[in-house]
Structure 1
Amino acid sequence: MRPTAPHADEVPLSLPQQPQLRFGHESVMTQSPTTKTSPTTI
């Protein structure tokens, strides 16, 4: 049960970081082809 304690702490911390990275990659990939005139905004 002790090893699960640190894992639980890492889960919530990595959870918010994962969606943020995914959103960024998705927005860049989707905005790149759609917004070719504003590549500096990303």
Structure 2
Amino acid sequence: MLPASGGAVVEFTVTEEGTFPFVTHQFNHATKGAKGLIEVTE
């Protein structure tokens, strides 16, 4: 379990090209700019 104020590093492999959006676990922060995109190309 990761506490709300904690942090972590995650390593993963994406097997398809595309643009993948992400937000923090507190979705209301997305309206304040806490969001991003992972763009995967070949």
Structure with greater proportional strand content: 2
Structure number with greater Rg is 1
Structure with greater proportional helix content: 1
- Normalising to structure 2: TM-score of the pair? 0.22
Larger RCO: 1 or 2 (CA < 8 Å, sep 6+): 2
- Normalising to structure 1: TM-score of the pair? 0.22
